[in-house]
Amino acid sequence: MALMMKDEDIIIKEPAQYKTASKWKAFKEEAIACMNGIKGKHNIPLAYIIREHKASLGNPAYQSDHHRIIVITLLVGPEFDEDNRKVFDLLKSWIINGPAWK
């Protein structure tokens, strides 16, 4: 299945169902790519919900505005709660029949 972004003509490919534990790395990368293309509240890519949480020292240089907004978006508040539920629902639909859900 593919998701169509509302404000653009870009089609985001969902990851294949995660059914085999040995395919975790590929699934993870596909899921991150998909979340980078799906926008949540305030037009922020949902990848901010599943980002790695690294402490940054000083004023880091970001690869792009896209990367910066993912890194700096706060993980609190009603918008975060709504985006977090959306990410959970997406992940659940992708893993429910595999080893990660059991």
pLDDT, tens only, 7-56: 454 567 899 889 888 888 999 999 999 999 999 999 999 999 999 877 66
42 in a domain, yes or no? Answer: yes
102 in a domain, yes or no? Answer: no
Per residue in 66-86, pLDDT tens?
989 999 999 999 999 999 999
54 in a domain, yes or no? Answer: yes
44 in a domain, yes or no? Answer: yes
Calculate helix-pair angle for 24-37, 78-95, nearest 10 degrees. 140
Domain count of the fold of the chain: 1
| pLDDT of the residue at 87 | 97
87 in a domain, yes or no? Answer: yes
69: containing domain: 2-95
85 in a domain, yes or no? Answer: yes
14 in a domain, yes or no? Answer: yes
Query: Does the structure show a pLDDT above 60 at 1?
Result: no
| pLDDT of the residue at 7 | 47
What residues contact 64, with CB distance under 8 A and at least 6 apart?
Answer: none
Q: Sign of the C-alpha dihedral, residues 29, 34, 40, 42?
A: positive
100 in a domain, yes or no? Answer: no
